[in-house]
Amino acid sequence: MKRTEIKKRPLSDTTLANLEPENGDYRVKDSGSLYFFVKKDGSKYWQYRCKDELGKDGYKGLGSYRNVSGQYARKKAKELELKEANGEVVRFSKYHKKHIDSKKNLTFEVIIIDWLDTKKTTWGEKTFTKARDSIQKHVIKEFGHRDCISIKKKEWFDFFQSLRTVNKINNQVDKLISYCTNAYDLAIVKGLIDDNPLVRISKHIAHYTQGNMSHVELHELPELINKVRNYPSRTMIIGIELAILLIPRPGELRCARWEQFDFKKKLWNRPAEVMKGRLAHTIPLSKQAIVLLKELETYKTESPFLFPSRRTYLEPVSDGTFNAVLNRCGYKGRQTVHGFRHIASTALNNQFSDKEQVIEACLAHKKKGVKAVYDKSNHLEERKLIMQWWGNYVESVT
């Protein structure tokens, strides 16, 4: 359909779908200040005509056709018209020309789906499906139609803050932030954009410490340790103190085997199959941790596990064993084994604020952002210093 054949406005869905490209780009008016932009290559976009503070005409992109329906574009145009009527200036993006001239319409949906596609072969089907559904339900619904570089940091902050504090979507928020951050980073690596508005945003989102991640404040740690030391089972006391000193995930400690420990090199070598990210990981052993491990060795049985089950030496203690110890010490709902990782992270980031990647490596977290693309180091030597500092700190306050 040629634009000369348009008979009515707003443009019908049939007209929008069938408008033909011409030798040059062109716009046709839909309604009010809303225009439909057709490029000579056949791609189509919604634009809102507005003026800047100096009265200069320009167009604010509202997204590509198909990603943004006519009904939604008209709704957004009405909202912008109301803003202008109230004296607000609707700013058009200085990147607008760059985007309409690019080969690809960089809505956020485009870059998040592009990143998600890279996980099809590395994630299990269940993990991939769960992540895809969460992204679709929360992020694409909110920002999918938007030009990815037009979404401001404050908009992202308000969005994630609301998910956590209003919608009560707790742990999933951290994953969504990670997914979106990685999508931007991939677009940067590909040379499609220059900046990532999500860098460091997770540090400022409301903290969530309920459930499996509950923890006391750092200054309360000495009192907790002293209470645990009054527990009747010495092996359980050692287990809790190792959880504090080595900051593993609960399952990694519970399933720890003697064969994984190299006392000569002062390392705990954990194979990939026991790690959350399915990557082998080594924890440097502080002198305080080695003292506890040597003591625990005096209780060693024929079991390969540091903390064997009472039922059979072929299995480790049950999943809730260490948390049960904390509960009996008066910390039910206040502290979990996993929560020790949060306490240590707080202390380490306060002390080593310039070594964020090294601290993340201490916690066996995967590197994030562009750094992860280039930096394959495991920071072992630096981690030895940090883990010994943590051991010294814990010893000094108890």
Using a pLDDT cut of 90, give the percent of the chain over it: 38
Per CATH, the architecture of 3-100 is what? 2-Layer Sandwich (3.30)
- Quick one: which of 57, 53, 54, 18 has its CA closest to 38? 18
* 264 pLDDT more than 60: yes
Cα(364)–Cα(284) distance, integer angstroms:
12
The predicted-structure confidence for 164-176, as pLDDT tens digits, reads as follows 777 766 667 878 8
pLDDT-based confidence at 206, cuts 50/70/90?
low
- Other C-beta atoms lying within 10 Å of the C-beta of residue 252: 20
Q: What was the pLDDT predicted at 56?
A: 67
Give 37-82 as a DSSP string: EE-TTS-EEEEEEEE-TT--EEEEEEEEBTTB-HHHHHHHHHHHHH
Cα(30)–Cα(37) distance, integer angstroms:
10
Residues 373-380, mean pLDDT to the nearest whole number: 56
* 276 pLDDT more than 90: no
Cβ 277 vs Cβ 299: under 8 Å: no
pLDDT-based confidence at 53, cuts 50/70/90?
low
- Return phi, psi of residue 343, to 5°: -60, -50
Using a pLDDT cut of 70, give the percent of the chain over it: 87
Residues 308-313, mean pLDDT to the nearest whole number: 88
310 to 274, 314, 315, 321: CA distances (angstroms): 22, 10, 9, 11
The CATH label, of 3.40.50.880, 3.40.50.150, 3.40.50.300, 1.10.150.130, for the domain at 108-208 is 1.10.150.130
Q: What was the pLDDT predicted at 165?
A: 76
Cβ 34 vs Cβ 27: under 8 Å: no
Q: What was the pLDDT predicted at 376?
A: 41
Which tokens is 145 given? Answer: 């139609």
Burial of 4 (0-12, 13-18, 19+ CB in 10 A): exposed
pLDDT-based confidence at 371, cuts 50/70/90?
very low
DSSP-assigned beta bridge partners for residue 59: 49
* 95 pLDDT more than 90: no
Q: What was the pLDDT predicted at 285?
A: 96
Give 378-394 as a DSSP string: --HHHHHHHHHHHHHHH
Q: What was the pLDDT predicted at 360?
A: 85
Cα(354)–Cα(247) distance, integer angstroms:
20
In which element (H, E) is residue 26 found?
strand 26-31
Looking at 187-196, 222-231, 300-309, which range is the least confident one? 187-196
* 295 pLDDT more than 90: yes
State whether CATH 3.30.420.10 applies to domain 212-396: no
Segments of the chain assigned to CATH 3.30.160.390? 3-100
Q: pLDDT averaged over the chain?
A: 84
Query: How is the beta sheet containing 57-64 ordered, strand by strand?
Result: 26-31, 34-38, 44-51, 57-64
Cα(389)–Cα(238) distance, integer angstroms:
19
* 370 pLDDT more than 90: no
Higher pLDDT, 383 or 97: 383
Segments of the chain assigned to CATH 1.10.150.130? 108-208
- Against a cut of 0.75, is the pTM above it? no
pLDDT-based confidence at 336, cuts 50/70/90?
very high
- Return phi, psi of residue 61, to 5°: -70, 135
In which element (H, E) is residue 365 found?
none
Q: What was the pLDDT predicted at 121?
A: 80
The predicted-structure confidence for 207-245, as pLDDT tens digits, reads as follows 655 555 788 888 999 999 999 999 999 999 999 999 999
Cα(117)–Cα(321) distance, integer angstroms:
39
Residues 291-315, mean pLDDT to the nearest whole number: 92
Segments of the chain assigned to CATH 1.10.443.10? 212-396
Residues 102-129, mean pLDDT to the nearest whole number: 80
Phi-psi region of 278 (alpha: psi -120 to 50; beta: other; left: phi over 0): left
Higher pLDDT, 327 or 102: 327
